[in-house]
Amino acid sequence: MQERARRQPRQNRAQATAAAVVQAAEHLLVEVGYARASTNAIASRAGVSVGSLYQYFSSKEDIYRAVARRHREEVVPPILTMLSTLHDPKQDIAEASVRLMRIMAEVHGRNPALMRALESEIGWLEHEDDAAFDLAPMVKDVLALRAKRPDKELETVAALLVEVVSHLSRWLVHARPAGMDIEVVLAASRRMIRAMLPG
């Protein structure tokens, strides 16, 4: 069972304290990793007492759950916006996917070290709520507007599209070889996505 924040910070000062704790946790995640980022170290970096930290977070895991949630709040709105535009069958799925990849790459590129640490150090927390926010059924609904195909085929293509856009967005920032032109990568991605779509 997941632990949750003990108290929701409502006043400005309380919100600032909770935000400082989360930001300190992010810095320590990059610098020393999850295992070595103790609540004492987080509180010290945030400039608050351990007692203040525990007013809002029940454990180190709870703090890092908030870190993962903050990242999710950055990436979810553009994804939902893209999906809502695709309910118009005239919108091009491949073009929209490439636009989303640009946006996601920009988000990951703001703090690449943190994005790498999120994946390598607390991926288990970052993806904890994935079941509650399953994009594949939403993408399947979009595909169904455009092609009368068996459900299983649409489900498979939808799952592949989600994985391709997600992983390539990260790869563009974290693993793309130096000197590789991002526009060439996106053009190739666009062709690949078009080839995946059911006719």
Same domain, 36 and 88: no
For residues 119 and 112, is the Cβ–Cβ distance under 8 A? no
Tens digits of per-residue pLDDT, 149-192? 999 999 999 999 999 998 898 899 888 899 999 999 999 999 99
- Domain tally, the chain: 2
Same domain, 99 and 180: yes
Same domain, 113 and 18: no
Same domain, 84 and 125: yes
Whether residue 7 has pLDDT greater than 60: no
d(CA 40, CA 161): 42
d(CA 188, CA 95): 12
Whether residue 52 has pLDDT greater than 60: yes
Q: What is the pTM of this model?
A: 0.77
Q: Which residues span the domain enclosing 43? A: 12-62
Residues belonging to the chain: 199
